[in-house]
């Protein structure tokens, strides 16, 4: 148990610190007079209920900032809070939300120092019951993958955003203000999770986007109910075995709604689970976590992206923050609309690994949401998309609409074929029709469009299923529908996802290719409209993906995993998109065969996480770090491997490729290496690089400069790992890539921050040989480890 969690903390540590590390840039005095803050809860079902959500937003639209003038400078921390969480959530959360914004989050996970990351973990060990977990200040997990059975229910995505001004901070060095800001947001997240009937948040992450003095703080995660047994004492194995038996019957458990059906926090569209037929499930599920290993998926998954730009007037401080605050909810809504539509278009019903990134620039806001769509067997089949025109009298218009409708239906059919989605037919009687007024529910409205009465006259059914209605009431909507159809599917033999592994593919070969691609485009300043901007951004991302497919065509059949898009707006008219992903080939022939059972898979996965991989030799645990109650956790969370540890390791094992001049070091953003077993963790690599040139032209312009720089960054990481005796970097992530240029002066600067875990891996084919060679080390470590853990 210790070790399992230990590794995942290790792995996800960079993500946690990403949130806290950004803090030094945004300190603020607690007397900060005017900060604009709004929070938005995004449930997976948001779009099903958008007619309701719409109502929430109308007053916001009409009177965007009613309190601006009343907020006097003397009021400490006066925030304008717009919450879109259902009102019920307040009654439920009352105790927790009132607790303390003043509390310094010393025991919380985000307190800013790396050493505290173990906090919740230790707490989990101490507090042996579920209720105890609920008492935690922030029962958040940044992990995205869990042992089978750990997740009991998943509620949906919860997120909160807050717009803050950085220039009013009197004491930039003090962390109080920042802590208070994050505390608010976490509190909000917690309350949203509660509203969904969940007591914990998994797949939690925090991020910031800063432009001048305005800062958007964002946090999101997935509300979940966790299995209390895992939080008690005992080994993973014990729990595993128990759970696995249960899992065989309830593989769909995590899809079941955690909230009370009759007292739902929001109107949702529920059906009986298609797997067990006992419990209720929502019609779509959005999560920020990886697909649980025990989930039953039909067909393959695919990367789904929603892209959005909104122009914003240039403004200073206060006015700027207000403008951003006003735009944000609409953007969030639009992003969700897009995600939902694209999901329907793919014929899928669940999103995993959802990451919504809002970037603020001087004159625009960019939203980019990436997720992996899958078809969960437990959820109902998604309905189609119905297009409705606003002026039904015009003949040619009607024709156009029906033409588009046909195209959409064709696309859905094609996608189903492409992703091999062919769920078993289930007769209507078994499922029943538990949803009242399906017509009202399924109606999908755009944010700008007003609800109209026409809806009742339309035939909303698509086959037997309820269809989404896309209403085309203006050119904007037309654009949107068109943009839906412009997303080109990857060429055959290619799959892409932003989760660790692609659902539906599990026969990976060992060939991997990690890459980073950076693109910067300059927008012309002329006649920039939202549509043009959207189109440009969409084209940018699409072209980038196409380019990746083209470049990696030699690896077909392969899958782009962990596709991670980062958008930044370095200047007025510049959009920078950075993509890091790994392409892994798989065996097509085996892919056609029946896949391993989920249990088998999960066992495999669990079995890799055993004690002998520990970063530190056991002597360290028992001797030098004796006084610490939980040495392994402590050791990992306290920064990098200590020199002692490194030294010990180096003495023990020779570099793996001693015979060749330059050893090959693999890099991957995933936590594992296909076809190989990780035999040793050597510690976190966290490196910052700054490069400046004053001879930009001579180095081949900006592209040449950055190309060479990134190649060198990779080389330095590889060299560092090789020096530690490792032969791979897992969980690699490029956290920052800030690029600035001044072609007039022939100069450019770039800052890059990368991190990952250095490991030693052994090919599974070589495994027998190696294990016979190193019996002493393994035995020794496992023996001593046993002592520590028990």
| Contacts with other proteins, residue ranges (CB under 8 A) | 212, 314, 316, 362, 491, 513-526, 532, 535-536, 539-540, 543, 546-553, 571-572, 574, 576, 660-662, 664-667, 697, 700, 702-704, 706-708, 710-712, 714-715, 718-719, 739, 742-746
Q: Closest approach of Cβ 528 to other proteins, in Å?
A: 9
Of 744 and 790, nearer to other proteins (C-beta) is 744
CA dist 551 and 490 (Å) reads 13
Could you tell me if 129 and 204 are in contact, meaning their C-beta atoms sit under 8 angstroms apart? no
Shortest Å distance, C-beta 170 to other proteins: 19
Q: Is 554 exposed, middle or buried (0-12, 13-18, 19+ CB in 10 A)?
A: exposed
> Which stretches of 403-474 are assigned E, i.e. beta strand?
461-462, 465-466, 468-472
Residue with Cβ nearer other proteins (450 or 511): 511
CB of 647 to other proteins, least distance (A): 23
450 DSSP 8-state letter? P
- Residue 518 C-beta: closest distance to other proteins, Å: 5
**Rounded CA gap, 699 and 706, in Å?**
9
CA–CA gap between residue 628 and residue 740 (Å, rounded): 45
Q: Which is nearer to other proteins, 279 or 516 (CB)?
A: 516
| Nearer to other proteins (CB atom), residue 352 or residue 714 | 714
To the nearest whole angstrom, how small is the minimum distance from the Cβ of residue 524 to other proteins?
4
Residue 132 or 521: which CB sits closer to other proteins? Answer: 521
CB of 724 to other proteins, least distance (A): 15
CB-side neighbour CA atoms (13 Å) of 336: 29
Minimum CB separation of residue 212 from other proteins in Å reads: 6
Least Å distance, CB 417 to other proteins, is 17
Can you tell me the distance from the alpha carbon of 6 to that of 250, in angstroms, rounded to the nearest whole number?
A: 27
Please state the closest distance from residue 550 (CB atom) to other proteins, in A. Answer: 5
DSSP assignment of 747-784, as one string?
EEEEEEEEEEEEEEEEEGGGHHHHHHH-HHHHHHHHHH
The least distance separating other proteins from the CB of residue 751, rounded to whole angstroms, comes to 15
- 261/692 with CB nearer other proteins: 692
User: By C-beta, is 167 or 246 nearer to other proteins?
Assistant: 167
Are 1 and 236 in contact by the 8 Å Cβ rule? The answer is yes
Query: Which residues have C-beta within 8 Å of that of residue 75, sequence separation ≥ 6?
Result: 33
**Which CB, 278 or 697, lies closer to other proteins?**
697
Question: Residue 760 Cβ, how far from other proteins at the closest point, in Å?
Answer: 17
Nearer to other proteins by C-beta: 134 or 712? 712
| Cβ closest to other proteins, residue 164 vs residue 243 | 164
CB of 372 to other proteins, least distance (A): 22
**How far lies 578's CA from each of 52, 135, 500, 519, in Å?**
36, 40, 18, 6
Integer angstrom CA distances of residue 293 from 149, 296, 446, 495? 10, 8, 35, 19
Say how far apart CA 271 and CA 256 lie, in whole Å: 10
Nearer to other proteins, 109 or 523 (CB): 523
Pairwise CA distance, residues 744 & 738, whole Å: 19
Q: Residue 342: which H helix or E strand, with range?
A: helix 317-345
* Minimum CB–partner distance for residue 556 and other proteins (Å): 10
Phi, psi of 195 (to 5 degrees): -60, -25
3-class SS at 566? strand
Distances (CA, A) of 720 to 247, 671, 730, 754, 757: 42, 19, 14, 12, 11
Name the helix (H) or strand (E) containing 631. helix 631-637
- Asked if residue 375 lies in contact with residue 348, where contact means CB atoms within 8 angstroms, the answer is yes
Close Cβ partners of 329 (under 8 Å, ≥ 6 residues apart): 38, 40, 57, 60, 82, 84
Gap between the Cα atoms of 174 and 27, Å rounded: 6
> Which is closer to other proteins, CB of 447 or CB of 516?
516
Name the residue nearer to other proteins (CB basis): 240 or 722: 722
- How far the first Cα of the chain sits from its last, in Å, is 10
């Amino acid at each position: 148990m210790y070790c399992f969690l230990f590794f995942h903390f290790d792995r996800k540590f960079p993500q946690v610190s990403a949130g806290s590390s950004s803090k030094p840039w945004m300190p603020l005095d607690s007397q900060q007079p005017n900060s604009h803050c709004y929070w938005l809860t995004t449930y997976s079902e948001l779009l099903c209920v958008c007619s309701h959500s719409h109502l929430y937003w109308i007053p916001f639209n009409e009177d965007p900032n009613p309190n601006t003038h009343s907020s006097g400078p003397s009021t400490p921390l006066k925030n304008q809070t717009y919450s879109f969480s259902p009102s019920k959530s307040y009654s439920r959360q009352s105790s927790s939300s009132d607790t303390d914004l003043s509390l310094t989050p010393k025991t919380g996970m985000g307190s800013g120092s790396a050493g505290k990351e173990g906090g919740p973990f230790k707490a989990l060990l101490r507090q042996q019951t579920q209720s105890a977990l609920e008492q935690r200040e922030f029962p958040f997990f940044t992990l995205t993958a869990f042992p089978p059975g750990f997740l009991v229910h998943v509620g949906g995505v919860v997120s909160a955003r807050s717009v803050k001004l950085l220039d009013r901070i009197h004491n930039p060095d003090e962390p109080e203000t920042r802590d208070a800001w994050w505390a608010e947001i976490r509190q909000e997240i917690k309350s949203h999770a509660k509203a969904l009937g969940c007591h914990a948040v998994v797949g939690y992450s925090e991020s910031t986007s800063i432009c001048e003095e305005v800062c958007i703080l964002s946090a999101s995660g997935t509300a979940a109910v966790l299995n209390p047994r895992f939080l008690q004492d005992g080994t993973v194995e014990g729990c595993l075995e128990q759970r696995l038996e249960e899992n065989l019957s309830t593989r769909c458990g995590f899809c079941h709604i955690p909230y009370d059906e009759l007292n739902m926090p929001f109107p949702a569209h529920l059906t009986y689970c298609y797997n067990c037929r006992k419990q209720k499930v929502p019609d779509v599920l959005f999560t920020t976590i990886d697909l649980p290993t025990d989930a039953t998926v039909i067909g393959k998954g695919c990367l789904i992206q929603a892209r959005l730009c909104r122009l914003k007037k240039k403004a200073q401080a206060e006015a700027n923050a207000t403008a951003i605050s006003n735009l944000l909810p609409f953007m969030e809504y639009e992003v969700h609309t897009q995600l939902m539509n694209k999901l329907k278009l793919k014929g899928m019903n669940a999103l995993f690994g959802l990451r919504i990134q809002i970037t603020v620039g001087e004159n625009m806001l960019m939203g980019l949401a990436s997720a992996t769509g899958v078809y969960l067997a437990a959820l109902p089949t998604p309905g189609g998309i119905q297009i409705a025109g606003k002026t039904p009298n015009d003949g040619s218009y009607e024709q156009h609409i029906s033409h588009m409708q046909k195209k959409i239906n064709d696309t859905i059919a094609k996608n189903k074929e492409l992703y091999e989605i062919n769920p078993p037919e289930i007769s209507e009687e078994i499922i029943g029709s538990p949803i009242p007024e399906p017509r009202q529910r399924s109606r999908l409205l755009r944010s700008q469009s007003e609800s109209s009465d026409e809806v009742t006259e339309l035939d909303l059914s698509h086959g037997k299923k309820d269809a989404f209605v896309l209403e085309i009431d203006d050119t904007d909507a037309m654009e949107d529908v068109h943009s839906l159809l412009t997303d080109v599917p990857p060429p055959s033999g290619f799959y892409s996802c932003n989760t660790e592994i692609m659902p539906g593919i599990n026969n990976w070969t060992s060939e991997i290719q990690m890459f980073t691609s950076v693109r910067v485009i300059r927008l012309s300043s002329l006649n920039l409209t939202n549509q043009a901007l959207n189109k440009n951004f969409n084209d940018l991302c699409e072209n980038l993906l196409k380019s990746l497919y083209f470049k990696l065509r030699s690896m077909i059949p392969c899958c782009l995993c962990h596709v991670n898009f980062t958008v930044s707006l370095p200047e007025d008219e510049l959009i920078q998109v950075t993509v890091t992903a790994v392409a892994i080939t798989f065996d097509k022939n085996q892919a056609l065969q029946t896949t391993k059972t989920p249990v088998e898979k999960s066992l495999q996965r669990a079995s890799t996480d055993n004690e002998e991989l520990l970063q530190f030799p056991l002597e360290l645990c028992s001797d030098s770090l004796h006084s610490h109650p939980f040495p392994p956790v402590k050791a990992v969370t306290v920064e990098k491997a200590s020199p002692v540890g490194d030294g010990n390791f180096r003495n023990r094992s020779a570099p793996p490729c001693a015979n060749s001049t330059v050893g090959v070091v693999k890099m991957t953003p995933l936590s594992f290496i296909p076809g190989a077993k990780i035999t040793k963790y050597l510690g976190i690599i966290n490196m910052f690089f700054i490069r400046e040139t004053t001879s930009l032209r001579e180095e081949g312009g900006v592209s040449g400069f950055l190309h060479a720089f990134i190649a060198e960054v990779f080389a330095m990481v590889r060299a560092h790992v090789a020096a530690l005796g490792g032969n791979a970097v897992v969980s690699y992530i490029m956290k920052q890539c800030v690029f600035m240029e001044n072609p007039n002066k022939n100069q450019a600067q770039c800052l890059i921050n990368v991190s990952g875990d250095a490991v030693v891996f052994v090919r599974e084919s070589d495994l027998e040989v190696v294990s016979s060679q190193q019996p002493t080390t393994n035995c020794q470590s496992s023996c001593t480890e046993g002592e520590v853990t028990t």
